[in-house]
Amino acid sequence: MAGEVTRTLHYWIEQPTKPAIIYDGRTNTRLIFLLRALMEKGWFSAIYTSEEYASSSVKGGGNALVIGYYSERFEDALYEKAGRAIYINQFERVKPGQVRDGYFPDVVFADPDLILPMLYLALRERLDGVRATIHDLVKEFELCDATGKGVAHLVHTYKNMVRDRRCRRFFTISGAMTVAQMSLVICDMIDLEFTHSITATGALMAHGLVHSAGLKHYKYDPRLNDRVLAEHKLNRVTDTIEPEENFDHIEKILNRVFEEINPAEVSSPRLINEMVGKRLREEYPHDRGILRSAFEKRVPVFVPALIDSEISNDLIVHNERRLRKGIPRIVTDYEVDTKYRMQMKLEAEKIGIFTVGGGVPRNNDQNDAPLIEIMNERLGLEMPVKQFIYGGRIAPDALHFGGLGGCSYQEGGSWRKMDLVNGIFSEVRSDATIVWPICVKFTMEERETA
């Protein structure tokens, strides 16, 4: 969304009639400073409140950039007067009918405190030729309130966690992030040794395999309804298309892996992912991929809910074929993986966690601490207490909804998962596809200059 909005604004600004800015927020923040800077460059015609814009003295029909929350009293006039409007807010406020399922034109549903610094630097680079670095962006965040400042804190927390050589780092991820083209961000994290462990959903790994095999996802065309997509086996994930033929291709790769598994030996999602990574390196040497990178760097990839994925579907079908031939089926043992990751933590001096989203991956990784505790108490063991000393979390979920995506590290501390006395933790409520790459890129550049 942010990239498309930037391109649209760039186009508007280059036209003779400049767009207007509509803003009802505070006038003593970094946000208004940036908006005024945009005005001073001659890129926008005026800054109005929604009430001023709704008045008869303002001519309608032009383009408008609507920042933050705007008054419900004047929204109808705003919707009617603006020829075309871009909305940037975290409240999902937009002209009725402008967005619909799978189609989100001219909106960024994120805090303007996060988006405006990015837009300002991007437009300045495009229009003035002043190149901005990731450090420039983080400095802008540091000057902001709320979300912007929170992102800056998260970036530095992540950087410090990666720099700490005594810290073993655990990465958990959920959501449609590989469909959202974030696979290479994960590859960079693995290849640069930013993470020592990944716990993810099976769907993430399945869609990630598509990239690893040189296949593509496609942008959804809103002129096609879901009945048409279903007829052509074009599976929609929000605003992206995953053709079913991609999965048919992936099944062939997975079957070659499954055929190598001895049913008499213990298997697990981690071990299967390792075998898939090895196969990808051999068959697709010119394509980057999560499991290939993980295999090459010996980073275990845990999928505690593998059953809920296309990979599991393929395994179930493969097992049915085995049974029809009188061959024992493959059985996956999830306890093997839990104990393996738990041992990684027990052997570490410090542990840190970086989380995108919530769900089973986050809970499964964080559950190692309670597991160690009850094994000590109920089995008479004396394993050391292992709590996270670093933590960085990105998720759009609100605390009051009660989901794990919005669960705070403070709450996790009540379960003895986090060291709330000595730990350093950062949490940002936002779209991870915006914030997460910033954390990784900043840390990459810090590493290069260290």
pLDDT means over runs of 10, the chain (450 residues): 94 97 95 96 97 91 96 96 96 96 96 96 97 96 93 98 97 95 97 98 94 94 96 97 96 96 93 97 95 98 94 96 95 96 98 97 97 98 98 94 91 96 97 97 84
- Digit-coded pLDDT (tens) for 221-277: 999 999 999 999 999 999 999 999 999 999 999 999 999 999 889 899 999 999 999
Give the CA angle between residues 358, 359, 364 to the nearest 5°. Answer: 100
Q: Which of 148, 151, 188 is nearest to 33 (CA)?
A: 148
Stated as kind and residue range, the H or E segment containing 22 is strand 20-23
Q: d(Cα 85, Cα 62) in Å, to the nearest integer?
A: 9
Cβ(273)–Cβ(240) below 8 Å = no
pLDDT computed for residue 450 by the predictor: 58
Q: DSSP alpha helices (H): ranges in 98-179?
A: 112-128, 134-143, 146-163
Cβ(89)–Cβ(31) below 8 Å = no
| Residue 158: burial class (beta carbons within 10 Å; 0-12, 13-18, 19+) | buried
Q: d(Cα 144, Cα 75) in Å, to the nearest integer?
A: 27
pLDDT computed for residue 59 by the predictor: 87
Q: Which of 244, 271, 259, 251 is nearest to 332 (CA)?
A: 271
Pick the CATH number of 135-449 from 3.90.950.20, 3.40.910.10, 3.20.20.70, 1.10.1060.10: 3.40.910.10
Plot region of 14 (φ>0 → left; ψ -120 to 50 → alpha; else → beta): alpha
pLDDT computed for residue 404 by the predictor: 85
Half-sphere exposure of 304 (CA within 13 A, CB side): 20
Q: DSSP alpha helices (H): ranges in 179-289?
A: 183-191, 202-212, 226-231, 244-258, 269-283
Which architecture, in CATH terms, is 2-132? 3-Layer(aba) Sandwich (3.40)
The model scores a pTM over 0.85: yes
β-bridge pairing 218-219 and 240-243: antiparallel
Q: d(Cα 295, Cα 41) in Å, to the nearest integer?
A: 50
Cβ(117)–Cβ(144) below 8 Å = yes
Domain range summary for the chain, segments of one domain joined by + = 2-132, 135-449
Please say whether the dihedral angle defined by the alpha carbons of residues 388, 390, 395 and 400, taken in this order, is positive or negative. Answer: positive
The SS3 assignment for 348 reads coil
Q: Which of 139, 170, 234 is nearest to 386 (CA)?
A: 170
Q: Looking up tokens 């909005």, which residue turns up?
A: 5
- Phi, psi at residue 139, to the nearest 5°? -60, -40
Cβ(183)–Cβ(289) below 8 Å = yes
